Amino acid sequence: MNNFKLILFVFFLLLFIVFIQFKKELFVLFEEGHGNFTTQVQGEEFPKILLDTTGIRFVLEKPPARIISATLSTDHILSDLINQQRLVAVSSYIDYPSLSNIVGFYDKSISRTQGEIESMLALQPDLVFVASYSNPETVRYLLRSGISVVRLSEFNSFADIYNNIRLVASVTDNKVQAEKIIRAVEKRIQHIKAQVKDKPKLRVLYYDLNGYSVGANSLMDEAIQLSGGINVAAGVLADGENKISEELAISLQPDVIVMNQWVFNQDNGQESPATVLSSKKAWSDVPAVKKQRVYAVPGTWLRSISQHRIKGVEAIAKLLHPDISTYPQENINAQ
């Protein structure tokens, strides 16, 4: 009898452990920054099936006409992709000059959202765009609401940006326009690469005064390489954005330092971060400081995870190699 009770106890203990593990794996799907959450789209024509990584499926019967863009990246992508009359809300960040490349583009009649689930549901959307960094609780409610949801989760390269543009285009029925956007970015990249291919490779450090830099496998690392530079933090820091001590940053002895110039630095009369860094005694022997090659570039270009990121590449390339030509404005306007 005692053996039977022991066996029963062990059985229920194992069952409990399995349940806890399953629950953990289920809810980690909603947490920020854990793996690839990108929605999979099945079907070339409508109706299309949207498959979330949780296993939840949505059927999009026809091109959506009431779209909510709850992320800044999809705000930017959609601005070049669809008629804004199809949008019932965009993210509130689209009006922030320190974050947005298209301030004033969206009509004020389109609602602004900060991800509040009640206000989004009240707009009765037929499609909502979110991202891996969106509030997990909001995403959880949206997935349970029955409204079609598309999640973007990869933002580490221009290839990821292209994939995101194609995904957004696929569910909004604008594939042709998506390829035009991508080709336009590719042409500008090729223009840069052709001019810097025979230039000396300068050692570049991306540095934030808050103590952050970037390792390999990141958009900033790719931007530096496309601009004809070498990311000195690659291989020193882990992939992506990471904390870096001031001592380690100085020891890398970069030829050029690139920093964020947020709009509020200027609006509030604050000094440029490049000026602040250059005036620090600890940095005085760094080659970039000695040669006055510490630059602040608009953060809206450096941090964008949309087609506008090309502006950051062009800016860095021009700073590294002042003699190269810029991509003709008439070609940009014609695209």
pLDDT tens for residues 161-174? Answer: 999 999 999 999 99
Same domain, 211 and 165: no
Which amino acid, residue 294?
A: V
Instruction: Label residue 61 exposed, middle or buried (CB < 10 Å: 0-12, 13-18, 19+).
Output: exposed
First vs last Cα of the chain: how many Å apart? 81
DSSP strand pairing (48-51 vs 57-60):
antiparallel
Q: CA-to-CA distance for 134 and 120, rounded, in angstroms?
A: 14
The residue with tokens 């330092």 is: 257
pLDDT tens for residues 88-138? Answer: 999 999 999 999 999 999 999 999 999 999 999 999 999 999 999 999 999
The last residue of one of the domains, among 138, 173, 208, is: 173
Same domain, 115 and 236: no
- For residue 141, give its domain range: 40-173
Residue 329 token pair:
């404005």
Same domain, 309 and 207: yes
pLDDT tens for residues 215-241? Answer: 999 999 999 999 999 999 999 999 999
- 246 in any annotated domain: yes
- 220 in any annotated domain: yes
Q: What is the pTM of this model?
A: 0.87
- 98 in any annotated domain: yes
Q: CA-to-CA distance for 241 and 220, rounded, in angstroms?
A: 9
